[in-house]
Structure 1
């Protein structure tokens, strides 16, 4: 087993872009939205006399500003598309939820003020009246995000971007002072004269390249394995927020998979890696419609096919980070030893991928969900042993779980109870 994390240099911004791209896949009309808002924000802050940390905080917040849409159904996401040029300010639900989530993130990495940036990114300028918060002038940054967000929303994919720029800028300028901060509109006007700005905005790969390789703002925040473990745990809570039926599921899978690795005498470092994979194994479910994830009954054939795509998206999201083992362990948890799993139909699975498959099945069948109780010991063991007998799951790993059933089940239960209490704001 190669210990690729000995030379671990994972970019926090790369991980954020991976998460934000999954957010954009939730709703087709918002494709690449977060990257676009981050890019516009980058162009604006490059013209402001902000510290490097303040610029970095704003761009990171822009890349995650709509993270609160995760607990919304598709029909409720329509509010995000509203142009908001009707004179009504909307501090909408997703912004409030997003602020709560971002608060945890800013505590982890010290991005002070990110919570307010996200919560008020739909706030109107109102001739400067809304530039204060609790008596402090610290909401100007949220107006940067608001302007960037509206420009991105106004840019439609069904019309050539250079044919849209005049109409977009006319809408923005006509609302300078009322909805948008005049100083920011002036900055936007300067760089919006460049065709290259609009062409970049219309080309996601170039946006990504400019954000990662820019020389104006250093976004190169590297994570070691301990930090990656912490941020993965945070993002697992974001993933599980997507469905009330699987709340804290990823916490359980991370706990069970890491305990299985310990039983196999893996090194402490490898155990941490499998735990990271457990936290992120359902990352691709961010792209799955909430209506399907929250369906209490049996899925239709069409719905099941949609569910099957989540591990595909997990694979390609983690592939961006260059962590081959963690990517494979996380993404192959629905593959089966006889090649009948999904979505890659892989039969030759590494030990880590086998661990993740067993941990996912065990956690799924034993955890309580709103529409049913978890299986009791006898039934759960029967399911695991049947899958091992049918060459679906690894026999040795199933035996370890069965022979230590109380230990594994108590671990899963304790972890999930702990996190459901700590993070009850999510449901």
Structure 2
């Protein structure tokens, strides 16, 4: 192990702590939605850190950060690069590892390659994707890169708090036309690999150091909007009401029964419900239910979407209300590429880390990148399997193991000879 290039563990851990302070709330969690004040401050800090290290930071039209080393790219800048990275936005009251670990480890790996003047056969670039957590749309930044958005689509996006993406984006200095022009073509990225916390209990329970992700689930979601009639809460008899909230409640309680019909691996979640006009003494005229659903197989996720749609239509018909279904494009399931998976295993073995294959039940930007380039993911253990909460924790040793495995994987994918000379699989 002593002959292998490694990350600066102390620097990486310190960066994680610093980034975790942006958007820290009184409950100990992190509130850092993309383009929020906390996010913009975090991006400014991250950019300044990269520039100080001699790296170049570019911002694409949708707001993704692309970090590179000009000196390492001399003579090879025209070759398709190896990408690595994740996101730094957080769910409400989230943790400090989900996304930031993969983003900061990617930058740390690039920084170490830059510091050691490692000769590469193709560029390595670190990417920080915007809005992976779907405040405005599932995997927004990587979706823009791989499938693209038209300006009208972006105009329609709204955040969890009801803000218009177009307004928030413009306030942060963004331009919708530039965002709509963002698009990668197949072959423009040689390979992609993402380090991430597991967000589940398997690796810790089995005492395994590194998970080699086999595939990522298909993700769907959107808004179901019931439209009834506003009436006085005291003077309107119960049997004369068209209560949109009751329709929403009826719909939500039907969702669990749909899961077995689409397969045991299906999941469906409702995390946001909005009522309008929002008065305690007014029968609600409108109720929105934001739905998230997933399955390891794309066709099963599509079937689940159809079942959910049918349930909403049934509720509306039975209660004599109107309903509008606004589904986001389904993110397809993504098998991880065998070449990248092999590179991860070889890197882990060179470090003496144990591995196991593991599927991902969470969505990641890597499933979008897999549509245009060979892609893989590295998982490291999550304490008690906790994630998307202030209790989220990955131990320091696992953080460093994951970052070192990522570094070795990047060296293999960029076709550079690892420091130990005999470990390369190419």
Range of TM-score over shorter length:
under 0.3
Q: Please identify which structure carries the higher helix content.
A: 1
What's the TM-score once normalised by structure 2's chain length? 0.26
What's the TM-score once normalised by structure 1's chain length? 0.26
Q: Please identify which structure carries the higher strand content.
A: 2
